[in-house]
Structure 1
């Protein structure tokens, strides 16, 4: 009867409070609350499904055929303007995104296109529909669609860079239309659906920031090129790309300005050395030298990859910690107290756990702070290493341009392309992005664990005024630490005062009998010192390799086995291709040879009434020594260039075999 009465009362909407006691109501309505909690703001399931005006499938269905049509149209245009005068004679020329071994590809737009492509691939790995053009896919075929998407996205974004290849106003107009269409579609999608249920509500918006910035840059760059082309005409475009850069490099190399360096270098202060060390991580451009396009693209995609991984790590962990901290209850605190994970002075009673609950929430907040701080530190270190590598790239390229192979490689290398070198050059930028991602992940794990250990073993015990296990270990082992410190001090003092005798210019070992006695007596103590040094060696090696993993210009292995480092191996072969194919001095001299000669003044009209023999005679014979200074000057510049760049000598072997090398005949070429 009681149960029936209570059920009837429970069904009555007029008196909702007379049938429930406090405990039963708290059990039934524990997750219902009229106030907003942090959980409601963090759960992505509360976001309604969004359907934009232009869905991703419609966007790809429209843009893919348009991009293909633009590529075909510009291919016919290139064929007509560059290869054949009649457009239909032969197969149309293949339109490529650009020659990355030349200076013709603009740096900013090329980096923007690669950045947009990389961001799309990062989102592809977490998307349920990896190929929106094909519609929803089954879970069993999702991996196959991802492989096809790896080939589809480069074809989709290739016209954004290829439209600048023909250097024609039609190409600029097509590029502007494509960039505007891509940018409008992505921007409209983000404005209509800024939040998403994938991983976190803000992940979709944050991960699309590089794509929006890249497409915005292209949307401004192509119209600027189109306006300049309409004002000046297509004929004003440079015929030889990079001509101005090669000239500037040649002038910088052949300049006669001396460097003002003091012969006696004064010892720098500590602040000056710290300042010089910090400035070494900032790349400062130098006159006459330009970083190759491939390196600019590699640095850009590496920074974007670091940003994408950092956003993923941030939104995947921090909201979860906030949810756990907001949903922590006294029952869970009682369990933690019973396991000894939370200190408590009172018995583990659920009603008296207010202080322990605050302690657990403080611990979770400390974990959140450690995670965010370690992630920010890892991002800063990775970006600093990437910037530091630019200075190393410049010094390595300049050394190889001068022929100093042993200053870069551990053994002599022939700077010529090979099959393996070409493959490494193709994969260099992709390797740089992948190594940057992996390095950031490893750094995050290491620095997070270190920060958590320091926080819970040092900071929190000092705040609470309690004893830490670390402090207890150090306090109980003080004789051991004191012995090691005294042993180190004794050895250093004896080595300085008793075992070294300084003569006029050198130092010699003395008191060898006492040296042998001390060596034998301190052997057990040095074993303990060696164990600590071994632990420190492991720690410092792990930290160094984790921080420098993103750099391909240095090897993480020793000199003898550095070829087993795939990153450094790829970088070495990349340098071979760049130096052998893009030597600026060689290209500068080729440009000088391609320049049209100066117009000679026309000869005075001859008198036709003279006899035939007199007409063949020179009325003003040229001085025999006038051509000699020009020939000597040309040989001097060639010799000077070869001295500054010995690697160019291999290209002149066939020319030096000719007894008439360096042009004794500066006039008409030999038949």
Structure 2
């Protein structure tokens, strides 16, 4: 009996054990449900030590470069010739070094994107409390621009020493980042490879700087030093732009106006979304920089959305069991053929298919949002060039809807400084809003149209449409009847211009169809709401398009910033004005006794005659130079407001005494 009792107890205990294991154990496969635990990784060069070493080195390099460039060379009365802080980028004066500016700003913006989700925003302060974390993030917004400042300031000096320091800084930054990511490619934050993918723009930009600075250093040894006037491609661009303006154009031949074909229309429409470089014309540096930062911002936001949703939804789909499926069956989300409502293998497969459909909708909407954002940015590039060219030739009303003065002002300068930041922020918000809207639309289409057509269940939408067929038929017939009566009965055919006919019948039909037109107006109002919402969502990232009407476009901060940005760029960086300045400052090397030299520059330029008689070729060149100066002075938008016709209270012989004194 004892042995039997023990055997029974053992069986009971074993039964309880298996029963408890089934009830209390994890649902589904343990490997699928539980994500792999990523151990903490500590690189050889931690972030705090890296910043503690590189920050003083960067500060010392910046001080050395500042001592090299004497302030007295720029402003003799400023601080008695003391050294000053180097300018990072000449946004208005030159258009060179675009790759350098994009790389440094890309490093800075990507670093700020990373620190937003980091628990320790400042590398010097670890394990920061939640109470003071927001303060440290504000400090980080000031620290990182100063930390990467020498990377761009080394190129501003345009000296071999600056290029050498740039090589050392870029190599140090690049080696440290690569070393850290090779040692610790995975992290436990959001997704195992999120840290690596988020740092990818930083690494690529540092690799570019690591190659750009050595190339500039080698060029400085191979080539002779150039003057500030001849250095950079922007001088050739401005001269080419002026040459195209002064070039003789062949008269336009009169041609018969032919209606373009559908193929040509489609090609022209597609070409409007593709920016092709134009000879002797370059977009402003800050405009190219803002669009490049918008692309990096789209990448960072899309990466965050992707890694935050897809791995989690895959874990849920792989851990779906019959017990969880029973909840979906009870709420009617998953159809069940079993009258008792007990889910089987078919219901489980259906639930997994639904979750997979949600994942597909999320990824598809994200891809569509990214593609649309890139298309809008490319379209904006084409529109920027058109607007700049129109303003360069003075066609203000073709760009703005009311007359504007192309002059610098306080509000215009503030908007010019904020333009790149606004473009980056609007691109992030535009992508996020687009993704939410397209994801909801994709879910609605999938679960209301696609899946019911595939499975034949949950056809509630089709039943509603089927029951309302008399309503839809009435609206369609009413619209068709109005169009047919208008075409054949209410308008006289064969007369140009067309005149109204049968007005009494027109009034009767208008009165009788008023209730039906109200219903048609409801549908038209819904369509108007959908179209306007989609238009604003798609064009949200574009600052050159106002999302409001012409009368209230001033309340659109993005479009207002763009308008003021154009005013500063045109008034301060007009290519004709740049060409005029180049003609003033340029010196021709003397290659013979008959060549001309620029002897003096006082209140413009004085072309002095040589001692010997100038040849006809020299006189022709002199006349061309004078004509170029006169033409640039005439078309300089910065001088329009100072001309006699624009100045108030001018005398017959010119300006008053006080105006001349102020000038």
Relative to 1, partners in 2 of residues 1:575 and 1:84: Cα closer, same or farther, differing over 3 Å?
closer
Q: Please tell me whether the aligned partners of residues 501 and 510 of structure 1 are also in contact (alpha carbons under 8 angstroms).
A: yes
Equivalent residue in structure 1 for 2:239, among 241, 244, 247: 247
Partner of 2:277: 285
Q: Please tell me whether the aligned partners of residues 290 and 424 of structure 2 are also in contact (alpha carbons under 8 angstroms).
A: yes
Partner of 1:96: 87
Equivalent residue in structure 2 for 1:340, among 309, 312, 332: 332
SS of residue paired to 1:212: helix
Find out whether 1:123 has 2:114 as its counterpart: yes
Partner of 1:175: 166
Q: Please tell me whether the aligned partners of residues 583 and 625 of structure 2 are also in contact (alpha carbons under 8 angstroms).
A: no
Partner of 2:178: 187
Q: Which moved more, 1:73-82 or 1:530-539?
A: 73-82
Measure, in 1, the Cα distance between the counterparts of 2:427 and 2:617: 61
Q: Please tell me whether the aligned partners of residues 396 and 404 of structure 2 are also in contact (alpha carbons under 8 angstroms).
A: yes
Give the length in aligned residue pairs.
Answer: 630
Q: Which moved more, 1:441-450 or 1:247-256?
A: 247-256
Q: CA RMSD in A?
A: 3.4
Measure, in 2, the Cα distance between the counterparts of 1:598 and 1:64: 45
Find out whether 1:436 has 2:427 as its counterpart: yes
Partner of 1:212: 203
Find out whether 1:533 has 2:544 as its counterpart: no
Q: Please tell me whether the aligned partners of residues 48 and 124 of structure 2 are also in contact (alpha carbons under 8 angstroms).
A: yes
Measure, in 2, the Cα distance between the counterparts of 1:7 and 1:295: 84
Equivalent residue in structure 2 for 1:523, among 514, 528, 543: 514
Relative to 1, partners in 2 of residues 1:532 and 1:506: Cα closer, same or farther, differing over 3 Å?
same
- TM-fit CA distance, 1:239: 5.1
Measure, in 2, the Cα distance between the counterparts of 1:386 and 1:420: 25
> 1:267-666 to 2 correspondence within 5 Å?
267-348=259-340, 350=342, 352-466=343-457, 468-502=459-493, 505-596=496-587, 601=593, 649-650=640-641, 653=644
Partner of 2:137: 146
Partner of 2:605: none
SS of residue paired to 1:499: coil
Q: Please tell me whether the aligned partners of residues 78 and 92 of structure 1 are also in contact (alpha carbons under 8 angstroms).
A: yes
Q: Please tell me whether the aligned partners of residues 27 and 319 of structure 2 are also in contact (alpha carbons under 8 angstroms).
A: no
SS of residue paired to 1:403: coil
Alignment deviations for residues 397-416 of structure 1 (CA, whole Å, 9 cap, x no partner): 11111111111111111101
- TM-fit CA distance, 1:629: 8.8
Relative to 1, partners in 2 of residues 1:647 and 1:492: Cα closer, same or farther, differing over 3 Å?
farther
Q: Please tell me whether the aligned partners of residues 121 and 150 of structure 1 are also in contact (alpha carbons under 8 angstroms).
A: yes
Listed as ranges, the gaps of 5+ residues in structure 1 are 11-15, 604-619, 662-671
- TM-fit CA distance, 1:82: 4.1
- TM-fit CA distance, 1:159: 1.0
Partner of 1:24: 20
Measure, in 2, the Cα distance between the counterparts of 1:579 and 1:462: 57
Find out whether 1:134 has 2:128 as its counterpart: no
Relative to 1, partners in 2 of residues 1:90 and 1:32: Cα closer, same or farther, differing over 3 Å?
same
Measure, in 2, the Cα distance between the counterparts of 1:469 and 1:315: 34
Equivalent residue in structure 2 for 1:37, among 28, 31, 34: 31
SS of residue paired to 1:312: helix
- TM-fit CA distance, 1:124: 1.1
Task: Give the structure-1-normalised TM-score.
Answer: 0.87
SS of residue paired to 1:163: helix
Measure, in 1, the Cα distance between the counterparts of 2:622 and 2:44: 72
> 1:102-121 to 2 correspondence within 5 Å?
102-103=93-94, 105-121=96-112
Q: Please tell me whether the aligned partners of residues 461 and 467 of structure 1 are also in contact (alpha carbons under 8 angstroms).
A: yes
Q: Please tell me whether the aligned partners of residues 586 and 648 of structure 1 are also in contact (alpha carbons under 8 angstroms).
A: no
Partner of 1:611: none
Alignment deviations for residues 318-352 of structure 1 (CA, whole Å, 9 cap, x no partner): 112111111112122112211111111103455x5
- TM-fit CA distance, 1:466: 3.2
Q: Please tell me whether the aligned partners of residues 376 and 542 of structure 2 are also in contact (alpha carbons under 8 angstroms).
A: yes
Q: Which moved more, 1:362-371 or 1:209-218?
A: 209-218
Q: Please tell me whether the aligned partners of residues 71 and 81 of structure 2 are also in contact (alpha carbons under 8 angstroms).
A: no
Q: Please tell me whether the aligned partners of residues 407 and 567 of structure 2 are also in contact (alpha carbons under 8 angstroms).
A: yes
Alignment deviations for residues 361-393 of structure 1 (CA, whole Å, 9 cap, x no partner): 100000000000000000000010011000110
Q: Please tell me whether the aligned partners of residues 113 and 160 of structure 1 are also in contact (alpha carbons under 8 angstroms).
A: yes
Relative to 1, partners in 2 of residues 1:225 and 1:659: Cα closer, same or farther, differing over 3 Å?
farther
Partner of 2:660: none
- TM-fit CA distance, 1:511: 1.6
Alignment deviations for residues 18-74 of structure 1 (CA, whole Å, 9 cap, x no partner): 5556433323443696xx73334xx36x00000000111111111111111111110
Relative to 1, partners in 2 of residues 1:540 and 1:84: Cα closer, same or farther, differing over 3 Å?
closer
Alignment deviations for residues 532-557 of structure 1 (CA, whole Å, 9 cap, x no partner): 01111111111100000000001000
Q: Which moved more, 1:498-507 or 1:451-460?
A: 498-507
Alignment deviations for residues 149-193 of structure 1 (CA, whole Å, 9 cap, x no partner): 000011111111110011111100101111111111111111111
Q: Please tell me whether the aligned partners of residues 432 and 552 of structure 1 are also in contact (alpha carbons under 8 angstroms).
A: yes
Q: Please tell me whether the aligned partners of residues 164 and 171 of structure 1 are also in contact (alpha carbons under 8 angstroms).
A: yes
Q: Please tell me whether the aligned partners of residues 543 and 559 of structure 2 are also in contact (alpha carbons under 8 angstroms).
A: yes
Partner of 1:162: 153
Measure, in 1, the Cα distance between the counterparts of 2:627 and 2:579: 16
Q: Please tell me whether the aligned partners of residues 401 and 645 of structure 1 are also in contact (alpha carbons under 8 angstroms).
A: no
Q: Please tell me whether the aligned partners of residues 95 and 284 of structure 2 are also in contact (alpha carbons under 8 angstroms).
A: no
Listed as ranges, the gaps of 5+ residues in structure 2 are 596-610, 655-663
Relative to 1, partners in 2 of residues 1:231 and 1:329: Cα closer, same or farther, differing over 3 Å?
same
Partner of 2:248: 256
Measure, in 2, the Cα distance between the counterparts of 1:82 and 1:566: 40
Measure, in 2, the Cα distance between the counterparts of 1:156 and 1:621: 58
SS of residue paired to 2:70: helix
- TM-fit CA distance, 1:505: 3.6
Alignment deviations for residues 100-132 of structure 1 (CA, whole Å, 9 cap, x no partner): 112254101101111111111111110000001
